Homo-oligomer: A and B are copies of this chain.
Amino acid sequence: MIKVGIIGVGTVGTSVAQILKDNADVISARAGQDIEVKSGVVKNLNKDRGLDIVITDNVDDVLNDSEIDIVVELMGGVEEAFGVVKKALKSGKAVVTANKALLAYHRYELQDIAGTIAFEYEAAVAGGIPIITALRDGLSANHIESIVGIMNGTCNYMMTKMANEGVAYDDILQEAQDLGYAEADPSFDVGGFDAAHKLLILASIAYGIDAKPEDILIEGIQDVSSEDVAFAKEFGYVIKLLTIAKKDGSEVELRVHACLIKQDEMIAKIDGVMNAISVVGDKVGETLYYGPGAGGDATASAVVANIIDIARSGKSTPMLGFDKPMEGTLTLKPSAEIKSKYYLRINVSDKTGVLAKITKIFEIHNISVETMLQKSTSDISANLLISTHIAKESNIQDMISELEKLDFVNSKPVMIRIV
Contacts and interface: CB of A to CB of B under 8 A. Distances in A.
Contacts of A328: 25
Given A32-B318, A269-B269, A285-B297, 12 more contacts: A19-B283, A23-B141, A23-B283, A26-B140, A26-B143, A26-B327, A128-B281, A133-B137, A133-B138, A134-B138, A140-B309, A281-B301
Nearest to A130: B138
Contacts of A288: 288-291
A315 B313 CA distance: 6
Judged by DSSP, the binding face of A is mixed
29 contacts: A22-B283, A23-B141, A23-B282, A23-B283, A25-B326, A26-B140, A26-B143, A26-B326, A29-B208, A29-B323, A29-B324, A32-B324, A122-B138, A128-B285, A128-B287, A130-B287, A133-B138, A139-B305, A141-B301, A141-B302, A141-B307, A141-B308, A283-B297, A284-B292, A284-B297, A285-B295, A285-B297, A286-B290, A289-B289
A124 interface: no
Contact of A286 (B23, B133, B291): B291
A322 interface: yes
Nearest to A296: B283
Interface string A126-160: 00111001100111111100000000000000000
Interface centre among A31, A283, A301, by most B CB within 10 Å?
A283
Given A283-B300, A285-B291, A291-B284, A309 B29 contact: no
A133 to B, nearest CB: 5
Residue of A31, A292, A302, A312 contacting most chain B CB atoms (<10 Å):
A312
Contacts of A27: 140-141
A298 interface: yes
Among A32, A285, A317: residue with most chain B CB under 10 A: A285
